[in-house]
Amino acid sequence: MDVVVFGAGSLGSLVGGLLAREHAVTLVGREDHVRDVQEDGLRITGEIDDVVRPQASTSVPEAADLAIVTVKAYDTPAAVAALSACDCDAVLSLQNGMGNEERLASLSATVLAGTATYGAIQHEPGSVRCTGLGEVVLGPPDGGRNGQADRVGDAFRAAGIETTVATDMPRRLWEKLAVNAGINATTALSRVRNGALADGPLAAVARRAARETAQVGRDRDVDLPDEEAIAAMDAVVDATADNESSMYRDVQAGGRTEIDAINGYVAESDVDTPVNDTLAALLRGWERERELRD
């Protein structure tokens, strides 16, 4: 399968690198990362130790069987603009937050939704560290099955990636949103690692944010009980206790966060969501003071 990964940062480089063990992969990313991959290959360290040699470029190729989008949610419009020049059969979003698949739907390709629980950190160009083995789950964003999802799932498995082709992606996306709504903003504002949410006052805030997310999901006909959303979040906190959330790392770097697609998305509902409202307002205020948003 010919695969292009648009947004070859940490997760994109890891997934693309693993796929390159079996498929023709092009990583589209920043110039320094692209240059090092072109010259020396992509070095994967941590839980996986390997050197792979995907193609790398700062622009998308003319055609691909599959485009994987791993950019930040606020960069999805840029992904749509770039991929509009690529003749793709399918586009898979492995992004945080909600609304990405709807934006990608303007492309003339089958859009798939996905989640990935592999941990990845990129400290320097030309390499990526796998901080935890996980699973990719993918399927049609509205649920059910289609042939493209099955084909992509087979391709991922052939490359040794633990993969599930799911028929219940709406529920899985809302569960992931509940996890991110609880963990990301809470750790970013408190400047703590994920494990600090295991108990105490921060755990209470995070669980309330996850509970509100489940309530909004049910208001949109997604069957996600409060206790299951909270249990999913607690499990991620336990499994990634020593990790810093992506939003915390964004704040440390002084960069824009994905707050609009996570807590902000939850807050834009008819359901009362005071915790998500507050978390979103605090991060948006922080970004505005740094002129990262209007």
Point out the residues that are catalytic. 176
Q: Cβ of 138: how many Cβ atoms within 10 Å?
A: 27
C-alpha 134/C-alpha 27 separation (Å) is 21
Residue with tokens 């006052």: 201
Query: Are the C-beta atoms of 69 and 81 separated by less than 8 Å?
Result: no
172-to-97, 178, 214 alpha-carbon distances in Å:
12, 10, 11
- Nearest-CA neighbor of 93 among 104, 85, 82? 104
Tell me the pairing of strands 42-46 and 50-52: antiparallel
Residue reference for tokens 């509009």: 84
Q: What three-state secondary structure class fits 189? A: helix
Distance between CA atoms of residues 249 and 243, nearest Å: 10
Integer Cα distance of 213 and 98 in angstroms = 12
From CA 290, how far away is CA 288, in angstroms rounded?
5
First to last CA, the chain: 41
Give me the residues paired with residue 24 across strands: 2
